[in-house]
A and B are shown apart, each in its own frame.
Chain A
Amino acid sequence: MAEIKVRKLHKEFGAGEDRVVALEDVTLDISGHVFVSIVGASGCGKSTLLNILSGIETPTHGQVQITQDGRPAVKGYVFQAARLLPWRTVMDNLLFVQKDRSEETRARCQRYLEMVQLGDKGKKYPGELSGGMQQRVGIARAFSTEPDVLFMDEPFSHLDAITARSLRAELQDMWQETRKTVVFVTHDVGEAVELSNRILVFAKGGRMADDIDVSLPFPRDVADADVALTKANVFKTFENIGALAVS
């Protein structure tokens, strides 16, 4: 089982007048087969938290520990922009992040490409694909390393509503099937309610303001009344803590 332990995580930039606190003494625990969303307005530190969890950035102080059954966890990451190597084919992009290039690995990568309906696009270059397809390759890439923990940073925010909606459904299916821990950052409350069973609300200044359980059954339909109600409740929570205030 994957476990994420964060203790008094603090990140700030600059000094004196220019000092900006991105995360303020954040403490939290995530474990098991959960889909956790981190929601907040711009500048509340959610991307920073994700970057630190995935190892791209280092904290100013505090502790982070991400383990799978005692050993260091394997991590996957899906970015806002697909971040594919434009000079390599789709399949090569998946292979790039694998530990080896064996036949077995190739087959596994091909499986994940098929899972995102791009099984026949392995030899194409990213430049030949649409934005939505590129993002699906990014998702396939992240899943293909079969990580213990999957980090996703607003992966659908650059896509049009229709593509985003179908990708959300795909993501939900994949999560159900593969049973991993997902940490998902978004500014879209509706998306968070639709996808996750736990929502962490962040307010301006990098402060974790609330921890909400969403225990509706999966799969969730956006048109469902319960889902809509939950959304409304979450929004109310936001207003209460002033988390929606614009900087």
Chain B
Amino acid sequence: MTALAHDTRPRRKRSNPALRALKSPLSGRIAFPLVCLAVWLVAIEIVTAVWPFAVDVLPRPSQVFSFMWDELTGDTLAPYNLYETFGISLKRLGIGMAIAMGIGTVIGLAMGLSKSVNAFFNDWVVAILAMPNLAWALFCSLAFGFGDVGPIVTVVLTGIPFVIINVREGVRNAPTDLYDMARAFGVSRSDSIRHVLLPSLMPFMFAAGRYAFALGWKGLVVAEVFGGEDGAGWTIKFWYDAHRAHGVIGYALFFVLFALLFEKFLLDRLSAYFFRWRPAVSSTDVVEELFEGPPSAATTASAVSDTTTAAQRSLTQVTAGPRSEREGGDDTRRTHDG
């Protein structure tokens, strides 16, 4: 059959690149803050005009942004500036996290290795897990007064149950086939621990760290609100007490930025480094993974009726790293022994 003289295939319209850009999710993402801004301005007009008594104070975006700018340049009415404030809070968070990881790992290992130890601690871990951090914060602030101790203890108490649970899961998910392999080859015990046990625990320790950070941060803020004289939580309360709504909202935005920056840059970088051997590691954005990856262990948590592991998995959706990390040491890519 001879070739056609001219191509009669239906021609695809070359799509306008501008139009394509407008339809992309990225443009949606940019549209969001703009829409929020618009809604905010409209809301101010409507509320002040129609229901003047419905709100006590509704700041304008310009007020909030100029407040934030002042803070960023170090010009503030609060006793400490933005950088000092977050620095103090971060320091407390770091110490609390270190303690929570340290003690939590020991207890988690013990609970994973021994049924008796598990029986001893389990109900209490569940109990601490479900306790609202408000309770810890209030209690610590009253017990330890001002200063660093109250917030640090709160961080420890909020984070430790998640560390324990994750480490315990790590032990329970130990790769027995690799241990058998080491034993078949007569590898020494210390080498087995160094090269098999510890690396297999890393994903779980990492998840534990992520929880300790995310939840510890929330607990810390509450603790600083109720019982501090400095720090991020205290400062936002400062603006609240001073009845400066733009201060409260401005600082709240700083909180959001801080959490996003930290998760995205620090934790995801660390994750990429520690798990560079993983074939599936790709995206660095937590929420992005959630929506573009296949369904995770998180939502199949309903198959598990244990509140603790379900809590762990569910919250994993929101604070944990890439899906592959979430599945712990699961080497689904490799074939398994029959």
Contact = CB atoms under 8 A, between A and B. Distances in A.
Whether A and B touch directly in their complex, counting CB atoms under 8 A apart, is answered as: yes
A158 B334 CA distance: 10
Given A85-B199, A88-B195, A131 B181 contact: no
B73 interface: no
B291 interface: no
B195 A81 contact: no
Interface size, B (range): 20 to 34
A175 interface: no
Residue among A75, A127, A151, A154 with the highest chain B CB neighbour number at 10 A? A127
B334 A56 contact: no
Nearest to B338: A80
Contacts of B337: 79-81, 83, 153
Contact of A76 (B185, B196, B338): B185
Contacts of A87: 199, 202, 277
B185 A85 contact: no
A158 B199 contact: no
Contacts of A128: 279
Nearest to B198: A87
B184 interface: yes
A80 B334 CA distance: 11
B187 interface: yes
A128 B191 CA distance: 24
B197 to A, nearest CB: 11
Contacts of B184: 54-56, 75, 77, 151
A235 interface: no
A125 B333 CA distance: 13
B334 A86 contact: yes
Contacts of A76: 185
A55 B334 contact: no
Contacts of B181: 77, 79, 83
A145 B276 CA distance: 28
Contact of B196 (A77, A85, A151, A157): A85
A48 interface: no
What does DSSP make chain A's interface, helix, strand, loop or mixed? loop
A85 B196 CA distance: 7
B185 A86 contact: no
Contacts of A109: none
B241 interface: no
Contacts of B278: 86, 127
A96 B183 CA distance: 12
A126 interface: yes
A131 B183 contact: no
Interface string A62-96: 00000000000001110111110111100000001
Given A75-B184, A126-B334, A85 B177 contact: no
A81 B277 contact: no
Given A77-B184, A97-B185, A127-B277, A83 B195 contact: no
B186 A75 contact: yes
Nearest to A154: B338
Nearest to B336: A81
A97 B178 CA distance: 12
B277 A125 contact: yes
A4 B190 CA distance: 29
A214 to B, nearest CB: 25
Q: Closest 4 CB pairs between A and B?
A: A127-B279, A97-B185, A77-B184, A125-B277
25 contacts: A56-B183, A56-B184, A75-B185, A77-B185, A79-B181, A81-B177, A81-B335, A81-B336, A81-B337, A83-B177, A83-B181, A86-B277, A86-B331, A87-B202, A88-B195, A96-B187, A96-B191, A126-B277, A126-B334, A127-B278, A127-B333, A128-B279, A145-B185, A154-B338, A158-B335
Interface of B: 177-178, 180-187, 191, 195-196, 199, 202, 276-279, 331, 333-338
Given A85-B178, A86-B277, A97-B187, 7 more contacts: A55-B183, A75-B185, A79-B181, A85-B196, A88-B277, A125-B276, A126-B334
